[in-house]
Amino acid sequence: MTQIVATTPGLYPLPEWAKDELADLKGHQKEDLVSGDEDEAISEAYERARGDVIDQQRTAGLDRVVEGQLRWDDMLAHPLVVADSVETGGIVRYYDNNNFYRDPIVTGPLAATGDVAAELDAAADRAGETPLQAVLPGPYSLADLATDEHYGDEAALLDAVTEFLADEIKQFPAVETLFLLEPSLAVNPPGDGPDEHASEAVDAVAGATDAGTEVVVHTYWEALEEKVYAHLMDAAVQAIGFDLVSDHDRNVYLAGEYGTKEDVALGLVDGQNTLVESPETIRERVEWFTDQSGEDFGTVYATANTELFYLPVNKFEAKLAALADAADLEEVHA
Amino acid sequence: MTGPREQFRPADHPHEHFILTTVVGSYPKPKWLHRARDLYEDEEANFGDEHFEEAKDDAARLITGEHERSGLDVVVDGEMRRNEMVEYFAHRIDGYEFNGRVKVWGHNYFDKPSVVDEVTYGEEWLVSEYEFTSGVASRPVKVPITGPYTLASWSFNEAYDSEEALAYDLADLVNEEIEALVDAGARYIQIDEPALATTPDDHAIVGECLDRIADDVPEVVRLGLHVCYGDYSRIYPEILDFPVHEFDLELANGDYEQIDVFTETEFTKDFAMGAVDAHVAEVESVEGIKENILHGLEVVPPERLTISPDCGLKLLPREVAYGKMENMVQAVREVEAELDAGEIDVAPAASADD
């Protein structure tokens, strides 16, 4: 019987009070953003905000708790931005969104920082009985977001980023699940050769986790190209994530045509629209995908398709509740 | 020359050549206007509608005058009455609601509205702003208006089947507003579509929106389109088919790296070129700006060139914003004099039947 696990891809909006308090403490300019060595007042504000969003997830009844990635001013580029040998350049567009991040320019050999591990340690204390889920950019996306001035070619940069992420993971506390977010695999797909390399990179990063951690590679905004998907199936992960909001037909085709893993993550609620899906709609989408793909899944991770920082706080909270309620519904029959 | 441009040449223009100078629109608000808004939003302060309106009138009068003092040929009120380029309009359109702030970058937020119902014309948008500004200005006034594609794209769409359908409905509202502005006497209207830079593949949708907007606008009215911070090769030359007289483009920011895009295919409209950077808090020298202007003359002859800053100046310190306008105008006047004297070679204008 399929188990439905309600969760999210993380990167939450800051609570309203924290938007103001942190803007006052940090400022509004490029040089004011998180660098990994925040002072005590800023750290303390983030700690309170982290507590708020963990409590919200538990109250909503999600089956996994994420740390919230509230410090990730540069979104998925965050782990690199706080690393040594990375300089921050100008503000650049974050995929096709009206959002911007600082260009991380790799100027020397990358080394893990433990920054994300420290966030997870703090979250673990607050998560209580709810299993903890880590969130990281996938290696292909993180390399895609970076500018290389050290490694010399894309393949070498990808290898370095892969090792960097693996070393970050080795510092993690025990986590139940790891979501690797790989939007670039969909929207800026690797060509022939690099597609296989991207899959190997995911495999290597997933391999750095503890034996007990379930790894989900989550893709969004578009469906993967067929070859990219076929290669990704070779990575030893427990689940691949599909964005059913952006393109359900292409995604279910991929799963039907090429098969998928024993578990699956489904992007069922829109992380970029304030319209709140009902639990029944969410559940129908799960059943549609299961029927159409012809797969019998062990676990379905019911999630938002994208990060959630795009939303105002009230709608963000409503979406958490809808996901949790959907997982708790009795099976619906259309 | 394309379109009704000559009406903006000042009666006392000192040169035979005329390169039109203007701004994109927004300008730093005086600190006291921000304080006035805080008071207005503070229920305990004794500061009501009447006081806030008076403050905004004062600011519009002041900044319009500041634009005139810098020597600009066509002025704006610096958008003193507008808080933000999407929010301002969404507050006046029925069918929108607001749920709270969302991140743009870092700790910069925007109260991104949601479209929850069919959009219809609610409160008046810009007519009274135009009437006030033209009443206090001695120079012609340009009206910047956020375009329907950006109004659609930078909102959450809960009500329409597609962003495209929403954009077309909004285009009809923008058309309605522009007709009212034209009736009120506006002769220079700039449609701002920065979202086109986010999703350049949608240029056909923007084109269809503009067809709806330009419909019935009399030929005496000059229509411009402002786009910024994007890869222009993805929208040019397709945008030349848009029914506007002028394209206003940011180029100083990238140090004219993209200028070749516009010389590879002949630029058949008026070219409003960013000659100063809107996001560098340092006033460029007159000499430096003159060099920038020469890039514009690679694209179009002087009678089709407009010079403006890259984008709205509102994020700059006010004295820097002023300095940029003043130096920009001086640079243009010097280039005009050099053109009159035959000291600058200009490629012959394309023949009229091109």
pLDDT (mean) for A180-206: 97
| DSSP one-letter code for B215 | T
Percent of chain A with pLDDT over 90: 91
Tell if the CB–CB gap between A32 and B107 is shorter than 8 Å.
Answer: yes
Contact assignment for A13 to B103 by CB distance below 8 Å: yes
Assess whether pLDDT exceeds 90 at residue B2. no
In a domain, A100, yes or no: yes
How far is Cα A61 from Cα A278, in angstroms, rounded to an integer? 15
pLDDT tens digits for range B337-352: 999 999 998 865 544 4
Chain A residues whose CB is inside 8 A of the B100 CB are 16, 312-314
Whether B166 is in a domain gets the answer: yes
Report the pLDDT value the prediction gives residue B353, as an integer from 0 to 100: 41
CB contact under 8 A, A312 and B100: yes
At CB < 8 Å, which residues of chain B contact A? 99-109, 112, 114, 153-154, 156-158, 195, 198-199, 229
* B161-176 pLDDT per residue, tens: 999 999 999 999 999 9
Q: What is the mean pLDDT of chain A?
A: 95
Please determine, for residue A332, whether its predicted confidence score (pLDDT) is greater than 60.
Answer: no
Burial B121-158, CB ≥16 within 10 A → b, else e: beeebbbebbebbbebbebbbbbbbbbbbbbbbbbbbb
Q: Does A328 touch chain B (CB under 8 A)?
A: no
Provide the domain limits for residue A154: 3-328
Query: For residue A333, what pLDDT is reported?
Result: 47
The answer, yes or no, to whether residue B317 has pLDDT greater than 60, is yes
CATH number of B302's domain:
3.20.20.210
Q: How far apart are CA A234 and CA A243, in angstroms?
A: 20
Q: Quick check: A32 and B105 CB within 8 A?
A: no
Does residue A333 belong to any structural domain of this protein? Answer: no
Per-residue confidence (pLDDT) for residue B352, from 0 to 100:
40
One-letter identity of residue A153: D
| CATH code, domain carrying A25 | 3.20.20.210
Mean pLDDT of the region A87-91? 87
Closest partner residue to A100 (CB to CB) among B104, B153, B199 is: B104
- Tell me the mean pLDDT in the region B200-205: 90
Looking at beta carbons, which residues of chain B come within 8 Å of A309? 102-103
Does residue A300 lie within any of the structural domains?
yes
Task: Tell whether A229 is within 8 A of chain B (Cβ).
Answer: no
- Of all residues in chain B, the one with the smallest CA distance to A33 is B106
ipTM: 0.94
| pLDDT of B1 over the 60 cut | no
How far is residue B239's CA from residue B223's CA, in Å, rounded to a whole number? Answer: 14
Q: Is A90 on the interface with B (CB under 8 A)?
A: no
Distance (Å) of CA A278 to CA A58, B106, B345 = 19, 31, 67
Quick check: is B73 in a domain?
Answer: yes
Average of per-residue pLDDT values in chain B: 94
Shortest Cα–Cα distance, A318 to chain B (Å): 12
C-alpha to C-alpha distance for B79 and B219, rounded to whole angstroms: 26
Residues 6+ apart with CB under 8 A from B341: none
Quote the CA–CA distance of B45 and B30 in Å, as a whole number. 20
Q: Are the beta carbons of B108 and A311 separated by less than 8 Å?
A: no
Structural domain range at position B231: 26-85+119-340
Smallest Cβ–Cβ distance between A314 and the set B100, B105, B229 belongs to: B100
Identify all chain B residues contacting A23, using CB atoms and an 8 Å cutoff: 107
Domain assignment present for B18: no
Q: Point out the residue among A32, A273, A309 whose CB comes nearest to the CB of B103.
A: A309
Helix B163-183, helix B127-136: angle, nearest 10: 40
Quick: pLDDT tens for A248-269. 999 999 999 999 999 999 999 9
Query: Cα(A100)–Cα(A92) distance, rounded to whole angstroms?
Result: 5
Residue B4 has pLDDT above 90, yes or no: no
B156 contact residues in A (CB cutoff 8 A): 272-275
Q: Do A325 and A61 contact (CB within 8 A), yes or no?
A: yes
Mean pLDDT calculated for residue range A302-313:
98
- Tell me if A334 is assigned to some domain: no
φ and ψ at B310, to 5 degrees?
-60, -40
What per-residue confidence (pLDDT) applies to B3?
A: 59
Chain B neighbors of A315, CB-CB under 8 A? 99
Number of domains in chain B: 1
Cβ within 8 Å, pair B106-A22: no
Convert the pLDDT of each residue in B251-300 to its tens digit: 998 899 999 999 999 999 999 999 999 988 899 999 999 999 999 999 99
Record: contact A310-B109, CB cut-off 8 A? no
Res. A158 pLDDT band, cuts 50 70 90: very high
B contact test, residue of A31, A187, A274 with most B CBs within 10 A:
A274
Alpha helices in B4-98 (DSSP H): 31-41, 49-69, 87-90
Looking at residue A331, its pLDDT comes to 57
How many independent structural domains does chain A possess?
A: 1
Average of pLDDT values for A162-184?
Answer: 98
Q: Is residue B143 part of a domain?
A: yes
Rounded to 5°, the CA angle B88-B92-B96 comes to 95
Q: What pLDDT does residue A295 have?
A: 86
pLDDT at A334: 42
Minimal Cβ distance to A91: which of B102, B105, B154: B105
The tally of CA atoms less than 13 A away on the side-chain side of residue A301 is 30
pLDDT of residue B198: 79
Q: List C-alpha distances in Å: A295 to A84, A252, A281, A330.
A: 44, 10, 20, 20
Is position A233 within any domain? yes
Contacts of B104 in chain A (CB under 8 A): 98-100
pLDDT tens per residue, range B73-101:
999 999 999 999 999 999 999 999 999 99
Where residue A128 falls (left for φ over 0; alpha for ψ -120 to 50; beta otherwise) is left
Q: Residues B112-142: pLDDT tens digits?
A: 999 999 999 989 999 999 999 999 999 999 9
User: Where do the H-state alpha helices sit in A11-114?
Assistant: 16-26, 40-60, 78-81
The Cα B64–Cα B67 span in angstroms is 5
* Chain B residues inside the 8 Å CB shell of A13: 102-103
Distance from CA of B38 to the nearest CA of A (A): 15
For residue B4, the distance in angstroms to the closest alpha carbon of chain A comes to 34
| B108-117 burial: b if 16+ Cβ within 10 Å, else e | ebebbbbbbe
Smallest CA–CA distance, residue B185 to chain A, in Å, is 34
Is the whole model's pTM more than 0.80, yes or no? yes
